[in-house]
Structure 1
Amino acid sequence: MEKPKRTNRRVNLSKNYRLVVKYFIPLGNEKIPVCEKAFSDITCMTRRRLNILSNGFRKTHSSPKEKIGGARITPMDTSTTVSITNHIQQFKAKKSHYSRKDSDQCYLQPNLSLNKMYLL
């Protein structure tokens, strides 16, 4: 019969150490320490969002990069966009009656949906 295998619990604790985050609110030239709840209420960030930001900062040691705006990740091929435009132009369009002057805007029939246009 074998002896039970024991693990060293201290080694496991050192791998998954807990991150301590301190929150400060700037007031004039000084920073006032506040609790997580107060910081969350003042900045209108959820507790989950604050955890995501702090864990990301711990890994990269920098603020997260903004992903808003800019080019799309997967731009469509020009041949695909041209074929879609040609397919939509095959449908009968109605002239706009919303403006007083003659505009070039046309509207598709209201009963057409993306599903119906795809099937036609």
Structure 2
Amino acid sequence: MNVKSKLGTRQVLNRYGLVIVIVLVAVAFSVINRLFLLPDNLINIARQMAVTAIVSVGMTFVMISGDIDVGVGGVACLTGMIVSLAMKSCGWRWFSACLSARCSARSTGCSSPPFPCRPWSSRWQ
């Protein structure tokens, strides 16, 4: 066996550490609660993290392109609050609540600066 093909403990943890942690957490939760790995629960977990996953993928593309947009999380939180309050307190249907949240997000976006923040560019120096 080649010396370079051997992976040390540090390289294994660097490469597969997150996967190992996720497996350990899943095993721990399934030992604690036998209902954890049921399909209904896994679908529920996937639904709860869907919005966060979509926003984080979009933010990843924004950061890769070289821009920093720190207002996305706040706007996502604002629109979620508007939808939930409109449906719960005002008794609106989901379409009207989503439309009002969309208008609010649009107006929030229009009130921000017309250019993305690039603190390392020359215009900030």
TM-score (norm 2): 0.25
Higher percent of residues as strand: 1
Higher relative contact order (CA 8 A, sep 6+): 2
Q: Specify which structure has the higher proportion of helix.
A: 2
